A = this chain, B = another copy of it.
Amino acid sequence: MSKPVPAKPKQAPAADPVSSHLCRRLKQLRAERGWSLDALAKASGVSRSMLSQIERAKANPTLAVAFRIARAFGMTLGALVETPGATSAVEVIRADDHAYHYRSDKNCRIRTLSPLNLEKDVEFYEVRLVEGGELRSSPHFEGTREFLTVQKGRVRVESASDAEELSPGDSATYRADVPHAIVNAGKGEAVVFLVDIYR
């Protein structure tokens, strides 16, 4: 009947902090991979129009849609919507990671397997941990991922709040832009191979 509720101020479509953040993130990710809206649409199952609107903060995507987009980028929903670097705007550069070919203490011996003066976006290490030894790392650059395979011994890998136990032959991949650690959880020396990828 009558419309007693005219005071709806013709609300501007969407201006949530979530959406306005997602918009920049989406643009960035898509630009990084050189994907077109159409390519992302096909990869995610979300229509071009929707993606365009999301990138312009004109729409407030559904959880299902956001999830599909995250999947298309090969990441979790949290990784898509949350700002990993915003909280720690301080850039931590571990000078000794780059300057030393060898880094040895009682617990841990690291050997560089890739030339340090080469590309900055990949590093290859061999890490030897004595019994009870561990290697704890501050967060690397945003987007850094670490690939690991266990050669010998039992190792526990920790990234953020997650932890996994690995035996010889097991491999793991995890984010390295958060505090992470590699711990010798078995008896005797442990040997792992490590690959760091910067983006």
Chain A residues engaging chain B, CB cutoff 8 angstroms: 14, 16-19, 22, 60-64, 66-67, 74, 76-79, 81-82, 84, 87-96, 113-115, 117-119, 121-122, 124, 126, 145, 147, 149, 151, 157, 159-164, 166-175, 193, 195, 197
Contacts and interface: CB of A to CB of B under 8 A. Distances in A.
Given A89-B159, A89-B162, A149-B126, A115 B66 contact: no
Nearest to A73: B119
Q: Interface on chain A toward B: helix, strand, loop, or mixed SS?
A: mixed
Contacts of A167: 95
A64 B66 CA distance: 11
A13 to B, nearest CB: 12
Nearest to A162: B89
A132 B60 CA distance: 48
Nearest to A67: B18
B90 A173 contact: yes
A91 to B, nearest CB: 5
B174 A90 contact: yes
Nearest to A173: B91
A19 B77 contact: no
**Most chain B beta carbons < 10 A, residue from A63, A77, A88:** A63
Given A91-B172, A166-B92, A151 B149 contact: no
A109 to B, nearest CB: 12
A121 B122 CA distance: 11
A169 B95 contact: yes
Nearest to A89: B162
Contacts of A145: 118-119, 122
**Most chain B beta carbons < 10 A, residue from A60, A88, A122, A171:** A171
